[in-house]
């Protein structure tokens, strides 16, 4: 049963980290827009500030 002393903290740590990750994502607007990013990444997107190069 000594293994329980290791397993329980690991279980609690895992649960805590997932909850913290969810909290962070929610507070930082990660669920705000679930539609556009999937299309944006397919576009030939240039970094902001990057100058157009002559063809």
Partner 1 sequence: MNHFGIFDGTSIELQICRVKEFSIPLCQFCEAQPALPGDIYCCAGCRVLDQNHTDESDTRIATPTEKSEEDVMIYSSFAKKIGNNIEFKCRVDPLACEACLQSLAAINDRFPALINLKWDRERSLLSLIFTKDNYFPSLIFNHLKDLSLNPQWVKINEDTEKSYNSQQKKLLRLGLTGAFAGNIMLFAVPVYGGLSGEWLRIFEWIQFAFFLPVFFWSAVPFYRTAFVSLKLKTLNVDIPLTFAFIVGSIFSFYQIFTGGHALYFDSLSGFFFLILSSRYLLESSIEKYLIRPQFSDFFEKSFFNILRIDTGSHANSSEIPILASWQDIQINDIIIAKRNERLPVDGILIDRGAEFETAWMNGESHPVLRLRGSEISAGSRLVSNQAKIQVTKTAKDTEFAKLIEQLEPSSEKLRVTTEAKIGTGLVIFCFLSAALLFIFAPQLGATELLKRSIAIFIVACPCAISFAAPLSRARANHLARKIGFWVRDPEIWSRLQNIKKIAFDKTGTLTSGQLKLAHHSPLIDDHWKKIILSLENISQHPIAESLRKTWGEMSLFEVKNAQEILGLGVQGEISGNNYRIQKSTAIDSTHISLELYQNDEKVLELSLTEEARHSLTSALEFFKKNFELFIISGDRQKKVQQFAQQHNFIAQNVFGDLNPQKKLETLKKIEPDLYFGDGTNDLLALKYAPVSVAALGACREAQSSSDILMLKADIDLVPELIELSFEIKKINRRNFILALTYNLASAIAAIMGLVHPLVAALLMPIASLTLLGSTFMATSKVREIEKRITT
Binding-site member from 2, 3, 27, 54 for partner 1 (CB under 8 A): 27
When computed from its CA atoms, the radius of gyration of the chain, rounded to whole angstroms, is 21
Q: Is residue 11 a contact residue for partner 1 (CB under 8 A)? A: yes
Q: Is residue 40 a contact residue for partner 1 (CB under 8 A)? A: yes
- Which H, E and C letters describe 18-51, residue by residue? HHHHHHHHHHCCCCCCCCCHHHHCCCCCCCCCCC
> Tokens representing 45?
């997107």
Residues that bind partner 1 (CB under 8 A): 1, 4, 8, 11-12, 15, 18-19, 22-23, 26-27, 29, 31-36, 39-40, 43-46, 48, 52
């Amino acid at each position: 049963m000594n293994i329980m002393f290791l397993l329980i903290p690991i279980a609690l740590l895992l649960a805590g980290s997932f909850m913290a990750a969810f909290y962070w994502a929610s507070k930082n607007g990660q669920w705000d827009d679930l539609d556009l990013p999937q299309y944006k990444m397919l576009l030939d997107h240039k970094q902001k500030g990057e100058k157009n190069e002559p063809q």
